[in-house]
C-alpha cells in the first residue's frame, strides 16, 4: 500500500464514522503539496466507492481557491432540513451550480441549467485543515450542497452581489467575479481529464462564510441566478 492509499484509509474512517482525525497526518503520510493532496483525494473517493459527478471550487484555509470533486450523495434538494451535528466545524456559504449541456471543451463551459446553492462545508480534521494540501486530500472540505430551483437567468453572470444571512436579516452583499471563478474551475476540470455533459461545476464561498446552528433558518441570494433557503436541525 502506498502513502496516498494509507492516508486515504485514515480519512475514509473519518468520513464513515463522523469522528474527525488529527492533522497534519504523520510525516510519512502527510501531503506536501496540492498534487499529493489530490492523489489522496482520488484514493479516498475510490475507498468510499463513489464516482465524482463534477467539480466544486471553494476557498481554502488561507483564502486561496481550491477545486475538489462533487459526490452525488452530497447533493440535496432545497427544502431538505440539514443537521449541523452531523458536520463538525460546518461553514455555510452561497454559491452557483451549473449543469453542463455538453462535454467540457476548451472554450467557455456550456450550461444547460444554473442553480443557486447553499454549501455546507465540513472538516474531517479535529482542528481544521492546516494547509491547502490537507484540505484537498479531504475532498476540499466537501459537506453538503443544497441545490435551489433552476434559474431563469439568461446565462452565467460576470459578477454577482451575493448575500448570506439568517432569514429576516439584511446582510450586506459581497461582490464576486463569478464568471472568472467558473473559468478557474473549468480549467481545473480539464487538468483532471474533463467533464461530460450532465456533470456539474459549482463555485461556492460567495456571500461570506458563517456557522449555522440548530433551529436557525438561513437565506442566500445570488443575483441574477436566484435565492435559496435552508433550515438547520
Assess if residue 37 is contained within a domain.
no
- For the sheet containing 217-222, what is the strand order? 174-176, 160-166, 217-222, 226-231
Distance CA 151, CA 50 (A): 28
Give domain status of residue 153, yes or no: yes
Model confidence pLDDT, tens digit, residues 9-48: 999 999 998 889 998 999 999 999 999 999 999 999 999 9
- Return the pLDDT at 182: 97
Given this model, what pLDDT does residue 75 score?
A: 97
pLDDT of amino acid 131: 96
- Note the pLDDT of residue 89: 80
Residue 1 domain flag: no
**Is the Cβ–Cβ distance between 44 and 8 less than 8 Å?**
yes
In a domain, 224, yes or no: yes
Structural domain that includes position 157: 52-231
pTM: 0.95
Q: What distance lies between CA 30 and its chain's CA centroid?
A: 22
CA distance 23 to 172: 34
Q: Is residue 223 part of a domain?
A: yes
Helix-helix angle 34-48:3-17, to 10 degrees:
60
Regions of the chain short of the pLDDT cut 70: none
pLDDT at 88: 75
For the chain, the average pLDDT equals 94
Domain membership of residue 42 (yes or no) is no
What is the rounded CA–CA span in Å between residue 194 and residue 228?
29
Does residue 18 sit within a domain? no
Count of domains in the chain?
1
The CATH number of whichever domain residue 111 belongs to comes to 3.90.850.10
Q: Could you identify the residue written with the cell 436541525?
A: 233
Characterise 29 by phi-psi region: left (phi > 0), alpha (psi -120 to 50), beta (else). alpha
Amino acid at each position: 500500500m502506498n502513502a496516498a492509499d494509507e492516508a486515504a484509509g485514515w480519512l475514509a474512517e473519518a468520513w464513515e464514522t463522523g469522528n474527525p482525525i488529527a492533522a497534519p497526518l504523520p510525516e510519512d503520510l502527510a501531503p506536501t503539496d496540492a498534487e499529493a493532496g489530490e492523489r489522496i483525494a482520488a484514493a479516498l473517493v475510490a475507498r468510499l466507492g463513489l464516482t465524482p459527478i463534477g467539480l466544486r471550487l471553494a476557498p481554502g484555509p488561507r483564502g486561496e481557491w481550491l477545486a475538489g470533486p462533487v459526490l452525488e450523495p452530497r447533493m440535496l434538494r432545497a427544502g431538505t432540513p440539514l443537521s449541523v451535528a452531523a458536520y463538525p466545524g460546518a461553514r455555510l456559504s452561497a454559491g452557483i451550480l451549473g449543469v453542463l449541456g455538453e462535454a467540457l471543451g476548451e472554450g467557455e463551459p456550456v450550461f444547460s441549467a444554473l442553480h443557486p446553492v447553499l454549501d455546507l462545508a465540513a472538516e474531517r480534521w479535529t482542528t481544521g485543515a492546516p494547509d491547502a494540501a490537507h484540505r484537498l486530500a479531504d475532498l476540499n472540505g466537501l459537506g453538503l450542497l443544497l441545490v435551489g430551483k433552476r434559474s431563469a437567468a439568461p446565462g452565467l453572470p460576470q459578477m454577482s452581489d451575493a448575500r448570506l444571512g439568517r432569514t429576516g436579516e439584511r446582510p450586506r452583499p459581497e461582490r464576486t467575479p463569478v464568471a472568472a471563478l467558473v473559468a478557474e474551475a473549468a480549467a481545473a476540470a480539464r487538468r483532471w481529464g474533463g467533464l461530460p455533459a450532465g456533470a456539474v461545476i459549482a463555485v461556492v464561498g460567495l456571500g461570506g462564510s458563517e456557522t449555522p446552528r440548530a433551529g436557525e433558518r438561513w437565506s442566500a441570494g445570488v443575483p441574477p441566478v436566484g435565492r435559496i433557503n435552508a433550515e438547520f436541525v
